Structure 1
Amino acid sequence: MRKVLPFLFVFVSVTSVAQKNDESKIQQLLSVQTEAWNRGDVEGFMQTYWKNDSLMFIGKSGVTRGWQQTLENYKKSYPDTAAMGKLAFGIIGVKQLSPVYFFVVGKWMLKRTKGDLSGHFTLLLQKMAGQWVIVADHSS
């Protein structure tokens, strides 16, 4: 019995370290989004999303499918830096669903001269080719 416990401890420790590393990468992804948005770079902001027709974005207007359509919707809704304002995220929770999926819940806030906006979001992230990308975003 004693031989199994050290092995189990090592396995749990390695798994925990890997999860913390992935959580750190996801935090970096959200920082990349924030930085791109705050410099008025919508296309840079979108680089964290899965560049695929199966990307799903759910917002107040319903479901949008596809990276290009999501980009176009962002550009239409936020045509200039004044409309974009300054973005900040507050993370409520990060949960690993499997070795290749994470679920993130948070709050988004836009500080703007023409009035602040805020809401909540849920993200489903998938690890593809060693990189985390957003495959589904529900923001309201």
Structure 2
Amino acid sequence: MKKIFFLGIAFIFIAQLSSAQSKDETVIRQSLEEQRAAWNAGNIDRFMQTYWQSDSLMFIGKSGITYGWQKTLENYKKGYPDTTVMGTLDFNILEVKRLSVLYFSVVGKWHLTRSVGDAAGYFTLLFKKIKNKWVIVMDHSS
């Protein structure tokens, strides 16, 4: 009888953990969709709302490492000064993986369709739950 009781408790715990993971993954995927929509609307400020607004945000790109939300925003605005250069963003999420109760990693491919020439690459994002919100704390895009 004890074994059945403990198996029942374990089953409930696993079911709740699975449900939480599924919910968190859905929230992360929705935030990435919000980013795509903001980009395609030409709104870099709104696009950046998914990032951690901290000097500790890390962005790794072809020019090296940038630290800080404000500097990352400035670099985006400098590199993509208008909607012609921004183009239309699309991406394919290849993997969303829970690393712990506080972290998820996301790997994907991005593509910009532009009249000035298409661009494409890959990204790895590290999401962290901060103040009950999932935010990107590290972005490695190439």
TM-score (norm 1): 0.99
Q: CA deviation at 1:6?
A: 1.0
Q: Match for 1:102: what amino acid?
A: F
Partner of 2:84: 82
Q: CA deviation at 1:103?
A: 0.5
1:44-101 deviation per Cα after TM superposition (whole angstroms, max 9, x unaligned): 0001000000000000000000000000100111000000000011000011011111
Partner of 2:93: 91
CA distance in 1, matches of 2:6, 2:131: 34
- Which of 119, 129, 132 aligns to 2:131? It is 129
- Which of 46, 54, 57 aligns to 2:56? It is 54
CA distance in 1, matches of 2:141, 2:31: 17
- Which of 21, 31, 34 aligns to 1:32? It is 34
CA distance in 2, matches of 1:52, 1:3: 46
**Structure 1, unaligned stretches of length 5 or more?**
none
Q: CA deviation at 1:114?
A: 1.1
Q: Match for 2:9: what amino acid?
A: F
SS of match in other structure, 1:47: helix
Count, aligned residues = 140
Mean alpha-carbon deviation: is it higher for 1-10 or for 19-28?
A: 1-10
Partner of 2:17: 15
Partner of 1:66: 68
1:110-140 deviation per Cα after TM superposition (whole angstroms, max 9, x unaligned): 0001111110000000011111000000000
Alignment identity in percent? 58
Partner of 2:120: 118
Q: CA RMSD in A?
A: 0.5
Partner of 1:43: 45
**Structure 2, unaligned stretches of length 5 or more?**
none
Q: Match for 1:24: what amino acid?
A: T
CA distance in 2, matches of 1:106, 1:9: 33
SS of match in other structure, 2:99: strand
CA distance in 1, matches of 2:102, 2:88: 31
Q: Match for 1:51: what amino acid?
A: Q
